[in-house]
Amino acid sequence: MRLADIDWGVIRGATIFLGIALLISGSLAGGTYYFSQQSQILHKQEGGKLAASRTRFLALDEERKLIERYYPRYQELELEGVIGGEHRLDWVETLGAVARNIKLPSLRYDINAQATHEPEFPIPSGRFQVFVSEMNLQIGLLHENDLLNLFEQISAQAKGHFSVNRCEMRRKQEGMVQAPTHENLNAVCALEWLTIQQPQEGA
């Protein structure tokens, strides 16, 4: 075939059409790749949001379980006077009532200022703060059981919890005098009343 026999007009039109088709195909391919990448990014973002939501849900579920498990005991401690402010007046009134009930020959006391509790070993307290109020007792006893009865009845009747930090007992004379008001023994004891302060709002 000679060049003169070629219909260049037809070829030119076909070439232009082919170029346009390639351009459109390239644009579609580029657009498809772009939207594919955007879809993957969006999928990862949504996957991250879903994972975060799942983590929050599990944390809330665990918190709910902890509340169900420990809140009843928390309420008990509030009613017992352990959580909240110190109950000095109640301690003193209960101490006097118990002393009269078991007929102690004598009882003197003083309470130190409330201070932050510093345990001998670390105790995780979270956002709560534990305080201690030391009560010093000088007790005249008819016999040893008076001291045990004193602590048992205070523990049962007074608001709050205490521990006996130290206690020394001495005999005042030889032999026992069986008189209700006679001091056969003298005890010097220190009690530690523990109270837990609730966290402040926004703390």
Express each pLDDT in 45-82 by its tens digit. 777 777 777 777 777 777 777 777 877 887 888 888 88
What is the CATH number for 130? 3.30.70.60
Q: Quick one: average pLDDT of 151-158?
A: 92
Question: Does residue 98 sit in the same domain as residue 144?
Answer: yes
Note whether 10 and 32 are same-domain residues: yes
Q: How high is the mean pLDDT of the chain?
A: 79
Q: Are 22 and 57 contained in the same domain?
A: yes
158 and 187 part of one domain:
yes
Q: Is residue 76 part of a domain?
A: yes
User: Is position 101 within any domain?
Assistant: yes
- Full 3-state SS string of the chain: CCHHHCCHHHHHHHHHHHHHHHHHHHHHHHHHHHHHHHHHHHHHHHHHHHHHHHHHHHHHHHHHHHHHHHHHHHHHHHHHCCECCCCHHHHHHHHHHHHHHCCCCEEEEEECCCEECCCCCCCCCCCCEEEEEEEEEEEEECCHHHHHHHHHHHHHHCCCEEEEEEEEEEECCCCCCCCCCCCCEEEEEEEEEEEEECCCCCC
Last residue of a domain, one of 56, 80, 104: 80
How many domains does the chain divide into?
Answer: 2
Give the domain-ending residue among 29, 60, 80: 80
User: Would the pTM count as exceeding 0.75?
Assistant: no
| pLDDT of res. 203 | 44
Q: Which domain holds residue 60?
A: 1-80
Is 202 among the domain residues?
A: no
Same domain, 70 and 93: no
* Statement to judge: residues 47 and 101 lie in one domain: no
Q: What is the pLDDT of residues 93-111, one digit of tens each?
A: 999 999 999 999 999 999 9
Rounded average pLDDT over 167-172: 88
Query: Does residue 69 sit in the same domain as residue 95?
Result: no
